[in-house]
Copies of this chain bind each other. A is one copy, B any other.
Amino acid sequence: MMRFSTLMKHPADWMTGADTDSAIVLTSRIRLARNITGAPFPGWARKNERMAILPELRDKVETLPEMKDAFSHQLSELSSVQKQVLVERHLISREQAARSEGSAIVVNRDQTLSVMINEEDHLRLQSIRSGLHLREAYQLIANVDKELEQVLPYAFDHELGYLTACPTNVGTGLRASAMLHLPGLVISDHIGQVIQAVGKLGLAVRGIFGEGTESLGHLFQISNQSTLGESEEDILNRLERVIQQVREQERNARSKLLEEDPQMLADKISRAYGQLKYAYVIDSKEALTHLSLVRLGSDMGCFPKQAMELCDSLLMDIEPAHLQHKAERKLAPEERDTMRAEIIRSRLQNLSSPVINFITS
């Protein structure tokens, strides 16, 4: 079985896929909520009821061919830092990390597939792919779903579809989402408009860590709101079309900034690099903003292509739990800010100064 340290050493497959394709849409994520008939939903169940069903669920998940040599743990076996690391990697939810008794997590080797057991629902199947590949991500998880359905009695109603703990998930149980990098829309102050327009189409726009979280690093998640009355195919199609439109709007916003105020753009990108390269104390929020701008600069050709991947891996590595896991102890916020700056400075050593090729002077 895969150990926690192994999980940590390797970035997830979807984290290293940064290329032209994922310059704006970083990742596509699919989550299916499934429950076992006859057993109370885990959120309402008592601890012993959750514990009773856990071994069977875990066994079925671990024996999936996709889960060969997987990372599989009861959450109660993990330290709070380890659990926070899994949250930062989008492998478990904050809620599951907080209330971990009787629940487990199984993650495949390349961290593209994960199954939360006894979170709000008995099973939450998740797949992540880099770039805009909702359908591929869906295919991946649909296969797992089919395999599990053959060996587990899913709670399914022929009128409603899959039954879930929260009514907002009933039906397909499908939540599809993409993470988008939208600095152009933020800088040009058009992001509010876009969020509103997307909302009117029945889709949700949220910050980087889901519901109720602030947008950091100009990163936004767009996802479907309704799970009922539409086929999986329809949900994915509609979401994909909207994401393509937002991607186009982001491209337009960038072109317009480039045309209308290249000095300002050069200043933002170049200074962001300067701040990251020279800070000795930096909080997460500030670091994410600068990384976002270096990422933008990379897409604009100011940095070599590797810069984007560097930014994407740093996005994760400078999160509080990742820092504490690396330090092998709890860190006070000030210690984290110092360590974060150190890591960034060291990783940026091989990234040369920006070449601002879009202004003439």
* Residues of chain B contacted by A353 (CB below 8 angstroms): 278
The answer to whether the Cβ of A356 comes within 8 Å of any Cβ in the partner chain is: yes
Q: In the complex, what residues of B have CB within 8 A of residue A271's CB?
A: 274-275, 278-280
Q: Residue A52 at the B interface, CB < 8 A? A: no
Q: What is the distance, in angstroms, from A156's C-beta to the closest C-beta of chain B?
A: 57
Binds B, one of A11-19, A183-191, A206-214, A260-268: A260-268
| CB atoms of B281 and A264 under 8 A apart | yes
Closest CB of chain B to A358's CB: distance in Å? Answer: 11
Determine if B279 and A277 form an interchain contact, defined as CB atoms under 8 angstroms apart. no
Asked whether any CB of chain B lies closer than 8 Å to the CB of A357, the reply is: no
- Contacts of A341 on B, CB cut-off 8 Å? 267
User: Does A338 sit within 8 A of B, measured CB to CB?
Assistant: yes
Residues of B within 8 A of A6 (CB): none
Q: Could you tell me if B263 and A338 are in contact, using CB atoms closer than 8 angstroms? A: yes
Chain B residue numbers with a CB within 8 Å of A334 are 263
Looking at A270, A274, A275, A278, the one whose CB has the most chain B CB atoms below 10 A away is A278
Q: Which residues of B contact A356 (CB under 8 A)?
A: 280
A263 touches B275 (CB 8 A): no
Residues on the B chain within 8 Å of A266, using CB: 280
Residues of B within 8 A of A355 (CB): none
Instruction: Decide if A150 is an interface residue (CB 8 Å cutoff).
Output: no
Contact of A274 among B263, B274, B281 (CB under 8 A): B274
A338 vs B274: C-alpha distance when bound (angstroms):
17
Contact of A280 among B263, B282, B338 (CB under 8 A): B263
Complex-state Cα separation, A361 to B345, whole angstroms: 12
CA distance A270 to B348 in the complex (A): 15
Least distance between A246 CB and chain B CB atoms (Å): 28
| Residues in B neighbouring A279, C-beta threshold 8 A | 267, 270-271, 274
* Minimum C-beta distance from A338 to chain B (A): 5
- Indicate whether A354 reaches chain B with its CB closer than 8 angstroms: yes
Within residues 122 to 141 of chain A, which ones have a CB less than 8 A from any CB in chain B? Answer: none
Given the complex, which residues of B lie within 8 Å of A282, measured CB to CB?
Answer: 267
Q: Which of A244-294 contact B (CB under 8 A)?
A: 263-264, 266-267, 270-271, 273-275, 277-282
**Could you tell me which residues of chain A, from 342 to 361, have a CB within 8 Å of some CB in chain B?**
342, 353-354, 356, 359, 361
Residues of A within 8 A of B (CB): 263-264, 266-267, 270-271, 273-275, 277-282, 334, 338, 341-342, 353-354, 356, 359, 361
Sample of 10 A–B contacts (CB below 8 Å): A264-B280, A267-B281, A267-B282, A270-B280, A271-B274, A271-B278, A274-B275, A274-B278, A280-B356, A338-B361
10 interchain residue pairs of minimum CB distance: A274-B278, A274-B274, A267-B280, A266-B280, A270-B278, A267-B281, A271-B278, A263-B281, A263-B280, A263-B338
